[in-house]
Amino acid sequence: VPELRRDPLLNRWVILAEERADRPISRVRPGRSATPADCPFCPGNERETLPEIDALRDAGSEADAPGWRIRVVPNKYPALRPDPGPAPSGIDLFARRPGFGHHEVIIEGEAHTLSVTELAPDRLREAFRVYRERFRALSRITGLESAVLIKNVGLAAGASIEHSHSQLIATPVAPPSLETELRITREWSERTGRCLTCAILAAERSARERIVWRGENLVAVCPWAPRFAYETWILPARCESRFEATADRTLDELAEAASRVLGAIETRLEHPPYNYVIHSAPFRFDSRATYHWRLAIMPLITQAAGYEQSTGLYINPVTPERAARDLRAALA
Ligand SMILES: [Zn+2]
Ligand SMILES: [Zn+2]
């Protein structure tokens, strides 16, 4: 049974999930390797996943049978279990709590595509709406505090199945990086009375050199201190803290921005493995506080190794100024 433990030295939670060790990782090789016949996410193989939680389907089609466009299923090798279990326990040094949480898989199209840039534009728009609906559904479950959506594309980026899909993981605690960000944001706004991300975006708009793309509601920017080469964030230009509250228009713009920025990255870097992640404020975030949800895109062109993983200090060989210039050129 999975368990959350808090590191007494760093005050940081980790998830211990032995079930994850059993998952097959041999399916993804460089390039397209699985065929629809042996892909558990292709239509016709619905029985290879757990029963679906939700799906966009043709009228008259049955659950767990073909006829779907987007499918949501529980992860077969979950990092967390949807059973709340006993109360948090462990004292002093060794704090622990049950590995309660939800771990879902969102299959973003019926076609056997690898990258979201291969999805039809309307399918990608539907995918972002399904992301929002699943954030909403999980936000209503007692005991869950926050959720993160992760997409891994390519074996090096952690994908164990190549068919385009994302994972949504909801936890009873905020992940360590979000906790740190919220604390820093709160301290900054207590000191200045303003929103930290709004201030950063205003500075980026006048500097211009790290901005990749601007829409009506969203901005794509290579952040000032990126950990990864060509790391790009797409985020709301105005304060919008919870992804589940995003308006339809903004979501459609997000689908377009994600597809264009990823297309530029794939052109410039010859289809690298990548991760994208949707960070959002906790479900019951104080509406007076400020935070901006974001989609962070991280191409994998260098491998984070021992130094980065053990220190948290990353070495990035490409400045964000150069990355943004390259991506703007690829977009034009
Ligand atoms: Zn497939
Ligand atoms: Zn703001």
Q: Residues 187-239: pLDDT tens digits?
A: 999 999 999 999 999 999 999 999 999 999 999 999 999 999 999 999 999 99
pLDDT at 30 over 60: no
Sign of the C-alpha dihedral computed for residues 124, 126, 128 and 134 taken in this order: negative
pLDDT of residue 289: 85
Ligand showing the shortest atom-to-Cα distance for residue 289? 2
How many residues make up the chain in this entry? 332
Ligand showing the shortest atom-to-Cα distance for residue 42? 1
Q: What percent of the chain has pLDDT over 70?
A: 97
Ligand showing the shortest atom-to-Cα distance for residue 198? 2
Spacing, Cα 147 to ligand 1 middle (Å): 26
Spacing, Cα 163 to ligand 1 middle (Å): 5
Mean pLDDT of 250-269: 97
Mean pLDDT of 291-318: 91
Ligand showing the shortest atom-to-Cα distance for residue 185? 2
Spacing, Cα 153 to ligand 1 middle (Å): 13
Spacing, Cα 152 to ligand 1 middle (Å): 15
Spacing, Cα 69 to ligand 1 middle (Å): 12
Q: State if pTM tops 0.85.
A: yes
Spacing, Cα 65 to ligand 2 middle (Å): 44
Spacing, Cα 186 to ligand 2 middle (Å): 12
Ligand showing the shortest atom-to-Cα distance for residue 237? 2
Q: Which of 234, 236, 229 is nearest to 320 (CA)?
A: 229
The burial of 38, by beta-carbon neighbours within 10 Å (0-12 exposed, 13-18 middle, 19 or more buried), is given as: exposed
Instruction: Name beta bridge partners: 100.
Output: 81
The token pair at 216 is 């009506």
How do residues 149-185 score in pLDDT, each as one tens digit? 999 998 888 888 999 999 999 999 999 999 999 999 9
Q: Encode the chain in three state secondary structure.
A: CCEEEEECCCCEEEEECHHHHHCCCCCCCCCCCCCHHHCCCCCCCHHHCCCCCEEEECCCCCCCCCCEEEEEEECCCCCCECCCCCCCECCCCCCEEECECEEEEEECCCCCCCCHHHCCHHHHHHHHHHHHHHHHHHHCCCCCCEEEEEEEECHHHCCCCCCCEEEEEEECCCCHHHHHHHHHHHHHHHHHCCCHHHHHHHHHHHHCCCEEEECCCEEEECCCCCCCCCCEEEEECCCCCCHHHCCHHHHHHHHHHHHHHHHHHHHHHCCCCEEEEEECCCCCCCCCCCCCCEEEEEECCCCCCHHHHHHCCCCCCCCHHHHHHHHHHHHC
Query: Average model confidence (pLDDT) for the chain?
Result: 92
Spacing, Cα 238 to ligand 2 middle (Å): 5
Spacing, Cα 122 to ligand 2 middle (Å): 29
Ligand showing the shortest atom-to-Cα distance for residue 197? 2
Report strand pairing: 102-107 vs 96-98. Answer: unpaired
Spacing, Cα 39 to ligand 1 middle (Å): 5
Spacing, Cα 16 to ligand 1 middle (Å): 29
